[in-house]
A = this chain, B = another copy of it.
Amino acid sequence: MNTPLTVNFAAGAGGPWRIERIAACRGESLAPAARLDIVEGRQPVATDGFTWQLRGFTGELRYTTSPERKALVAVQAPLGRAEARCAALIPIRKNAAWWDLAQDERRTIFEERSRHIAIGHDYLPAVARRLHHCRGLGGPFDFLTWFEYAPEAESAFDAMLQRLRATEEWCYVEREVDVRLVRVDNEK
């Protein structure tokens, strides 16, 4: 289950996800585009016709303890549910002060003080998510998180983001963009 999967998020004219809006929460935004394509694999998507492209890879969770993971796995939903036609792509970069912290200091802020895992747990299984790491790949972000939910869960999703953004952990976020999407793969 933990074999890294490389995923390219390519915004441009094509792809099954229509971009509804792009909002800069902190720092610079991303350029407007009509659609988003999601392509798995380490080869970059051909750049012709794309406005921007972000790449990351899945991998081991770096703060979650075994009991926390068991609790998440027991209730979380997979990506690709038919009813989950809304999505969000939230690229984040944390600042140097965060990365200068030791592992135990980051864990303390992440969960003991900010309750990141616990807050996310409150919105399961309505909100499905997949985290992609990209620190070290040379791009402008450290993480790309992809969320999927049904239209009726959007206000709950927004409430979750509001709680997370009010935490101590978020003091270390220096760039965050919120891209909202709707699946239109059946449209002509």
A interface, CB within 8 angstroms of B: 1-4, 6, 42, 57-66, 68-69, 96, 99-107, 133, 135-138
Copies of this chain in the oligomer: 2
The smallest beta-carbon distance between A76 and chain B, in angstroms, is: 15
| Residue contact A96 to B3, C-beta cutoff 8 Å | yes
Chain B residues with CB under 8 Å of A4's CB are: 135-136, 138
Tell me the complex Cα distance, A4–B135, Å.
Answer: 7
Chain B residues with CB under 8 Å of A68's CB are: 102
Closest B residue by C-beta to A107? B103
Tell me the complex Cα distance, A2–B106, Å.
Answer: 14
Chain B residues with CB under 8 Å of A1's CB are: 100
Could you write out 19 A-B pairs with CB less than 8 Å apart?
A1-B100, A2-B96, A2-B100, A3-B96, A3-B99, A4-B135, A4-B138, A42-B138, A58-B136, A59-B135, A61-B102, A61-B103, A62-B62, A64-B102, A65-B102, A65-B103, A66-B105, A69-B102, A103-B107
| Residue contact B104 to A65, C-beta cutoff 8 Å | yes
Tell me the complex Cα distance, A186–B102, Å.
Answer: 39
Closest B residue by C-beta to A108? B66
The smallest beta-carbon distance between A85 and chain B, in angstroms, is: 29
Tell me the complex Cα distance, A102–B102, Å.
Answer: 18
